[in-house]
Amino acid sequence: TSLATRFRAIVGASVQQYITRVRVNLAASLLENPNRPSVAAVAERVGYRSETAFSRAFTREMGVTPAKLARIGN
């Protein structure tokens, strides 16, 4: 079996899905901070070149937009 197959069996997600979850969870913790940077800065900090791609991935994983989470967190 390949590394990707073993990874999925152990973690329950593909490598890319896992990386996305880690990035989104880090972004969520940054956005919940009262002294948080802008959504664009958070997107860049967790490795997204596009704020649109970040927002799409974040919303898919968290069920809420990054901007809304930032408002809720404050």
Residues 37 and 57: their CA atoms lie apart, in Å, by 19
31-54 pLDDT, tens digit each? 998 888 899 999 999 999 999 999
Question: Could you read off the pLDDT of 14-32 as tens digits, one per residue?
Answer: 999 999 999 999 999 999 9
**Which stretches within 1-74 are classed as H helix?**
3-11, 15-31, 39-45, 51-62, 66-73
CB 69 within 8 A of CB 32: yes
Helix or strand holding residue 51 (H, E): helix 51-62
Q: Give yes or no for residue 7 having a pLDDT over 80.
A: yes
* Residue 45 located in a structural domain: yes
Whether 33 is covered by a domain: the verdict is yes
CATH classification of the domain holding 34 = 1.10.10.60
Nearest CA to 55 out of 45, 46, 67 is that of 67
Whether residue 1 has pLDDT greater than 70: no
Question: What pLDDT is stored for residue 71 in this prediction?
Answer: 86
For residue 64, what are the domain limits? 16-73
In a domain, 3, yes or no: no
- The domain total for the chain is 1
